[in-house]
Copies of this chain bind each other. A is one copy, B any other.
Amino acid sequence: MRISDKHQKITQAAIKVFARKGFFNARISDIAKEAKVADGTIYLYFNNKYDILISMFEDEIGKIILQVRLLIDQEEDPRKMMEIFALNHLQLIEEKRNLAEVLQMELRQSNKFMKEYRNKKFIEYIDIISTIVRKGQKMGLFSTKLLPGIIKCAYFGALDEMSRQWLLTRKPPYSIKEAARQVSDTFLHGMMTRPM
């Protein structure tokens, strides 16, 4: 077995275990068992428990950024881009439930993670949104009164909270697609009644 395989195997096991029990309640021996590896082996690939979390985050969110960039770059219209971002984000939650749970519940929580460790990758991800907003403003599509930094937070936050609900309640009363559409529509057009 190649070295990187075992690294990967431990990471995947950790995602499962962290999702199930949470970072602090997860024991190294849980991860080891899940990865079918000895406890000590984990320390050949990671410095410590916390390092597993960080390293998982960097790897996985990196992949996600690549994927969504690819989709968005094929698009011309910033309005469409906003929709795509929403849909992609929510679909991700569905496809990678365990990972989503860790990213959402565990990483978020850790003051240490968000404060001390400057979270480059995460910022890179949500900055995709503000870039789209700026593009839309330049094209005269979005109001120039909007602060891209605020819209970025609000849009990501809206999607993120949808995800949280989705993760907490196994059976949400609406589809991913419907949710993504309502969020992007609301941001783009607003909630007011109006003539179509």
Q: Which of A40-48, A55-63, A185-193 is the interface stretch?
A: A185-193
Residue from B108, B161, B190, B193 within 8 A of A157 (CB atoms) = B161
Complex Cα gap A178–B189 (Å): 20
Please report the C-alpha to C-alpha distance between residue A65 and residue B18 in the assembled complex, in whole angstroms. Answer: 32
* B154 pairs with A161, CB closer than 8 A: yes
Given contacts A22-B112, A158-B157, contact A192 B183 (CB under 8 A): no
B162–A179 contact, CB under 8 A?
A: no
Do residues A22 and B111 form an inter-chain contact, with CB atoms below 8 A?
yes
A:82-123 near B, CB below 8 Å: 101, 105-106, 108-112, 114-115
Query: Quick check: is A156 within 8 A (CB to CB) of the other chain?
Result: yes
CB-based nearest B residue for A137: B193
Chain A contact residue count (CB 8 A cutoff): 54
Q: Which of B109, B153, B182, B189 contacts A109 (CB 8 A)?
A: B109
Which of B21, B111, B161 meets A160, CB within 8 Å?
B161
A147 interface contact, C-beta 8 A: yes
| Bound Cα distance A105, B179 (Å) | 25
With A105-B111, A110-B109, A192-B142 known as contacts, the answer to whether A179 contacts B150 (CB < 8 A) is: yes
Q: Are A146 and B183 in contact (CB under 8 A)?
A: no
- A-B pairs, top 7 by smallest CB distance, nearest first, are A157-B161, A109-B109, A190-B190, A154-B158, A24-B24, A189-B190, A157-B157
